[in-house]
Amino acid sequence: MRFDLISLFPELFEPFMRHGITSRAYESGALQLRLWPLRDFADGAYRRVDDRPFGGGPGMVMLAEPLRRCWEAIRSERAQLGLPLGPTLLFAPQGRRLDHALVAEQAQGSGAILVCGRYEGIDQRFIDQCVDGQISLGDFVLSGGELAALALLDAVARLLPGVLNDALSHQQDSFNPAIAGLLDCPHYTRPERWCGPQGEADVPEVLLSGHHARIEAWRLQQRRDATTRLRPDLLQGSGAEATEPKHAKSKL
């Protein structure tokens, strides 16, 4: 799996690739990330990549031509390597909201070309002719697409085999179909009794019982309660009527 990423600030991604659990995906080669500095494809001594918008208005707009040159260079390299060209995805506020289903789609594919916009946006002609889909983190505006790209790459890396210590770990995450798309349940660890700013608090007794069926039933109820309270929209068509998650028989 390979992602080619177009950005004005590719250096933002390098620390992310070297640290944390998801760095295993890059070290093993399960996930490859090729960074393409957009200014390398711009003209002039200043390597200009933006200009004022036609029709007036605030801000600057990213030029279509440097983006096209970079995009064509990526597609040429992917073709030479025998890689599928893959979709071209732009991170923008008007895009499809990033969710588990979209992450799973990308994790099952062969990669994509990721375009990180900046300024007021990019020339619509590049979007119309070269972009296959758009992705948004939510109903707010970021300074650029890099943070959204990092979120997508991190989420995809977690789903790849060998990245997490426990292969079943991501199946218990919030929104995963393995737990009917519900929110995750609360988690506890040592000590059994913790004294916090509001007094002593104990780990729920059921988690100390060693009774696997009871523990799974408690976790399922906690997931349902949390989802009902915090994200009731997830319950529509979630299959929350299931009596236990698919991994109920796995050991603790």
Per residue in 64-116, pLDDT (tens digit) is 999 999 999 999 999 999 999 999 999 999 999 999 999 999 999 999 999 99
Q: Is 132 known to be catalytic?
A: no
Measured between alpha carbons, how far is residue 37 from residues 8, 110, 124, 207 in Å? 6, 22, 20, 50
Q: Which amino acid makes up residue 241?
A: E
Q: Is 241 known to be catalytic?
A: no
pTM of the model: 0.87
Instruction: Kindly name the residue from 77, 120, 154, 184 that is annotated as catalytic.
Output: 120
Q: Is 205 known to be catalytic?
A: no
Block means of pLDDT (10 residues each) for the chain, 252 residues, are: 97 93 92 97 94 96 98 98 97 96 96 96 98 97 96 95 77 87 96 96 97 97 97 77 37 28
Instruction: Kindly name the residue from 65, 77, 154, 173 that is annotated as catalytic.
Output: 173
Q: Is 139 known to be catalytic?
A: no
Measured between alpha carbons, how far is residue 109 from residues 1, 31, 85, 104 in Å? 7, 11, 11, 9
Residue 21 is predicted with a pLDDT of 86
Q: What's the chain's average pLDDT?
A: 91
